[in-house]
Chain A
Amino acid sequence: MKERERWNSRFGLILAMAGNAIGLGNFLRFPVQATENGGGAFMIPYFTAFLLMAIPLMWVEWTIGRHGGKFHHGSLPGIFDALWNNPIAKYLGALGLFVSTIIFIYYTYIESWTLGFAFFSITKEYFGINTFSGMKSFLDSYQGSSQGYFSNLSYAYIFLIITISANFYLLYKGISEGIEKFAKVALPLLFVMGIALMIYVFYIGTPNPATPEKSVWNGLAFIWNPDFEKMWDSKVWLAAAGQLFFTLSVGMGTLQAYASYLKENDDVALSGLTTASLNEFVEVVIGGSIAIPIAVAFFGLTATISIAHGGAFNLGFVSLSVIFQEIPYGNFIGFLWFILLFFAGITSSVAMAQPLISFLKEQFQISHKRAVSYIGLGLFICINFVVLFLKHGFLDEMDYWAGTFALVVVALLEVVIFAWIYGMEKGWKDINRGADIKVPKIFYYVIKYITPLYLLFILIFWTFDDAIPTLLMEGKSAADIPYLWGARLLMFGIFLILTWMIYKGWQRNQFDYKVYEKKGDMK
Chain B
Amino acid sequence: MENSMNASGFLFMASAWTIVTVMLVYSVYKVFKGKNKVE
Interface residues of A (CB under 8 A from B): 6-11, 13-14, 39-41, 43, 47, 213, 217-218, 220-227, 262-263, 266-267, 270-271, 273-274, 276-278, 280-281, 284-285, 301, 436-437
B29 to chain A, nearest CB (A): 10
Q: A220 to B12, Cβ gap below 8 A? A: no
15 pairs from A and B in contact (CB 8 Å cutoff): A10-B31, A10-B35, A10-B36, A13-B38, A41-B12, A43-B15, A213-B3, A223-B13, A224-B5, A267-B34, A277-B27, A281-B21, A281-B23, A436-B34, A436-B35
Nearest B residue (CB) for A223: B13
Contact residues on B (Cβ < 8 Å of other chain), bracket: 20 to 34
Contacts of A213 in B (CB 8 A): 3
Nearest B residue (CB) for A305: B1
Contact of A437 among B11, B21, B30 (CB under 8 A): B30
Q: Which of B1-39 contact A (CB under 8 A)?
A: 1-6, 8-13, 15-17, 19-21, 23-24, 26-28, 30-31, 34-39
Contact of A280 among B8, B9, B23 (CB under 8 A): B23
B18 to chain A, nearest CB (A): 10
Contacts of A223 in B (CB 8 A): 13
CA distance A6 to B37 in the complex (A): 11
Q: A40 to B16, Cβ gap below 8 A? A: yes
CA distance A39 to B10 in the complex (A): 11
Q: A263 to B39, Cβ gap below 8 A? A: yes
A91 to chain B, nearest CB (A): 32
Contacts of B15 in A (CB 8 A): 43
Contact of B31 among A14, A220, A285 (CB under 8 A): A14
Which DSSP category, helix, strand, loop or mixed, fits chain A's interface?
A: helix
Contact of B2 among A7, A43, A221, A285 (CB under 8 A): A221
Whether A6 touches B19, Cβ cut-off 8 Å, given contacts A217-B4, A221-B3, A221-B4, is: no
CA distance A365 to B37 in the complex (A): 29
Contacts of B2 in A (CB 8 A): 221, 225
Q: A285 to B20, Cβ gap below 8 A? A: yes
Nearest B residue (CB) for A40: B12
16 additional A-B residue pairs with CB within 8 Å, beyond A221-B6, A225-B6: A7-B38, A10-B31, A10-B36, A43-B15, A217-B4, A221-B3, A222-B1, A224-B5, A224-B10, A224-B12, A263-B38, A271-B31, A276-B23, A280-B24, A281-B24, A284-B20
Interface residues of B (CB under 8 A from A): 1-6, 8-13, 15-17, 19-21, 23-24, 26-28, 30-31, 34-39
Central interface residue in B8, B12, B36, B39, by most chain A CB within 10 Å: B12
Q: A266 to B31, Cβ gap below 8 A? A: no
Q: A436 to B30, Cβ gap below 8 A? A: yes
Q: B13 to A220, Cβ gap below 8 A? A: yes
Q: A9 to B37, Cβ gap below 8 A? A: yes
Contacts of A226 in B (CB 8 A): 8-9, 12
A218 to chain B, nearest CB (A): 5
Whether A225 touches B5, Cβ cut-off 8 Å, given contacts A9-B38, A263-B38, A281-B21, is: yes
Contact of B16 among A43, A218, A274, A277 (CB under 8 A): A43
Contacts of B30 in A (CB 8 A): 270, 274, 436-437
Q: A274 to B28, Cβ gap below 8 A? A: yes
Contacts of A43 in B (CB 8 A): 12, 15-16
Q: A270 to B31, Cβ gap below 8 A? A: yes
Contacts of B35 in A (CB 8 A): 10, 436
CA distance A452 to B16 in the complex (A): 26
A214 to chain B, nearest CB (A): 10
CA distance A225 to B28 in the complex (A): 30
Contact of B5 among A217, A271, A285 (CB under 8 A): A217
Nearest A residue (CB) for B29: A274
A181 to chain B, nearest CB (A): 15
A81 to chain B, nearest CB (A): 25
Q: B12 to A218, Cβ gap below 8 A? A: no
Contacts of B20 in A (CB 8 A): 277, 280-281, 284-285
Q: A270 to B27, Cβ gap below 8 A? A: yes
Contacts of B5 in A (CB 8 A): 217-218, 220-221, 224-225
B7 to chain A, nearest CB (A): 10
A224 to chain B, nearest CB (A): 4
CA distance A40 to B15 in the complex (A): 10
Nearest A residue (CB) for B30: A270
Contacts of B38 in A (CB 8 A): 6-10, 13, 262-263, 266
Contacts of B24 in A (CB 8 A): 274, 277-278, 280-281
CA distance A39 to B16 in the complex (A): 12
B3 to chain A, nearest CB (A): 5
CA distance A255 to B11 in the complex (A): 34
CA distance A303 to B25 in the complex (A): 37
